Each structure stands twice: as structure tokens, then as C-alpha cells.
Amino acid sequence: MQDLAGKVAVITGGASGIGEGIARAAAAAGMKVVVGDIDLDDAQAVATDIGESALACEVDVSNLASVEAMRDTAMARFGGVHLLCNNAGVLIGALMQDADIRDWEYQINVNLYGVIHGISAFLPSMLESGEGHIVNTASMGGLIAGPPEGLYSTTKFAVVGLSEALLLEVAEQGVGVSVLCPGLVDTRLVAQSLAIRPVALDSGVDHGQPAPDTASGISPLVVGEQVMDAVRENRFYIITHDDYREIIEMRHNSILEALDQHTARYGSTSGR
């Protein structure tokens, strides 16, 4: 989608951090912006600061009806949606051996179902109009995995896989897809994930795992601008840091080595 001016963007998790960075970059590109977040006060503050082209909307991405209501609000106000950024996310650091099932549920509900709900609510009208772009926020933790963020990485690997499949499914139908895989970004992710955890999914357990030091990360505004560049250029992977190259290479090489080992031991095998 080369020309963004006058088009409409919906950004979940837009009240803070990366989502706020995307919202501000979209507005700077001339887009009208819906700042969707479970934290309405902060969404309102961002929208007010952006100005008349922005609308705050309370949404819980873990709830399909809530995401559909946000879509209806966006349609009623702006008449269409061209860019959807499924960005809201939470992180609870826990080793799998210590994790409570509620720690899994909380992260799956927001990080994975949040993306699924966005696609379910917004993709049909994009396909109908033959125009649109969806950006799903995964993480570098969606390309490489390790403790103590195994639960989080499980959801983010799923978002990468979902996005790859969606790209192949809709590429010929006028809808672009990108997956955002940031390294450390300076946001309130760790504190906010605990602050807004629903009571029913609050395991109350202090897993004692060191949280990633997001304060040492890059600015969310820089990430927002990189997202706009990728949307304009219709690029799939949006990588914000290049310092994970070695680990990604190690992971990919171990898969290729397993393929070679298979061939060496069992010979060539094909079949789908």
C-alpha cells in the first residue's frame, strides 16, 4: 500500500510502546488512526495528542465481540479500514516446569487469539474491497526460543506461522501481510502485563524469572516508522535489530543438518 495519506489504520495496543509508535508514525504519514487498547485512558491520551485524525477505542483483543465492536466503531467513524496492526501483547516470564496453566492461557488469549480475532473481524472487508494490509506483532522470540520466555515464545512462533500462511493465502487478493519481529524495545510491556492481568488468569505466582530489560531497548517511535516503511514497500518480515543473526543462523542450520542426517541415514524421501 504505497500511498498511506487519507487511509485508515487500526492499531491494537496503541496506548503505549510499539503500538503508540505505530499510531504516531501512521498519523505522521497522513493516516486516520484508531488507537485501540484495553487501557482507554492511555489510548485517549495518545489519540488526543495526535489530534482530530485519531480516535481512541476501548478493546480487549482476547474477546472477539470486543474486537468486532472496535471494527464497527472504526467503520462508523472513518468509513473503512486499510491497515490493521494486531499489536497488543503481554509477557509473563516463567519456566514451563513452574508455570501455572493460567500463565499459558493469559498469553495465548492476548498474543495469539488477539491476532486471530483481528483477522476474523477485519479480513473479510479487506478481501471484499481488494485492498488492505495486516501487520501482526510477533517478536524476535517468535524466531528463536529460550527460557524463561518459553510460554511467550510459543505464542509468538504461532503468530509468525499464522502470518506466513496468511501471506500465502491472500497475497493474490490485494491484501498485504507483514510480521513484526522486534528485539528489545523500550516499553512498559513487563509491568503492564502484570497490571492488567484478569483476576481469573492471575496465577499469583512470582516465578522469580528475570524480566527482559526492555528499558535498554530501542525507541518505539523508530519501530513505528519501520512498520510504515514495510507497509509502503509490502515487505513481510519486519526486523528491527540485526544482532540476533548468529542465533537465527544456528537455529536454521540445525534444521538443515537434521535434513542432511535424514538423507544420509534413510536416503531421499518425498511425499506430502
The catalytic residue positions are 152
Q: How is residue 188 written as a grid cell?
A: 512498559
Q: Quick one: 116 or 127, whose CB is closer to ligand NAD?
A: 116
Q: How many CA atoms lie within 13 A of 136 on its CB side?
A: 31
| Count of residues that bind ligand NAD according to CB under 6 A | 33
Q: Measuring CA to CA, which residue among 86, 135, 92 is closest to residue 112?
A: 86
Closest among 145, 68, 151 to 105, alpha carbons compared: 151
Binding range to ligand NAD, per CB under 6 A, among 117-125, 127-135, 180-188, 202-210 = 180-188
Instruction: Select the span of 13-21, 25-33, 164-172, 244-252 touching ligand NAD (CB under 6 A).
Output: 13-21
Nearer to ligand NAD among residue 8 and residue 90 (C-beta): 90
Q: Is 59 in the site for ligand NAD (CB under 6 A)?
A: yes
Contacts of 164 (CB under 8 A, 6+ apart): 179, 236
69 neighbors 121 (Cβ within 8 angstroms): no
Residue 38 within binding range of ligand NAD, rule CB under 6 A = yes
Question: Do the beta carbons of residue 4 and residue 232 sit within 8 Å?
Answer: yes
189 binds ligand NAD (CB under 6 A): yes
Task: Yes or no: say if 99 and 148 are a contact pair by the CB < 8 Å rule.
Answer: no
What b/e readout covers 116-126, taking b as 16+ CB neighbours within 10 angstroms?
bbbbebbbeeb
Report the candidate in 168, 138, 165 with the shortest Cα–Cα distance to residue 153. Answer: 138
3-state DSSP call for residue 106?
helix
x/- letters, 74..113, toward ligand NAD (CB under 6 A): -------------xxxxx------------------x---
| Interatomic CA distance for residues 93 and 166, integer angstroms | 28
Task: Single out the residue of 73, 178, 192, 226 in contact with ligand NAD (rule: CB under 6 A).
Answer: 192
Binder among 35, 143, 162, 185 for ligand NAD (CB under 6 A): 185
Question: Counting contacts by CB under 6 A, is residue 187 touching ligand NAD?
Answer: yes
Smallest separation, CB 24 to ligand NAD (Å) = 12
Tell me the closest approach of the beta carbon of residue 38 to ligand NAD, in angstroms: 4
The stretch near ligand NAD (CB under 6 A) out of 8-16, 123-131, 241-249, 253-261 is 8-16
What are the residues facing 83 on neighbouring strands? 9, 133
Binding site for ligand NAD (CB under 6 A): 12-13, 15-19, 37-39, 59-62, 87-91, 110, 137, 139, 182, 184-185, 187-189, 192, 196, 214, 217, 220
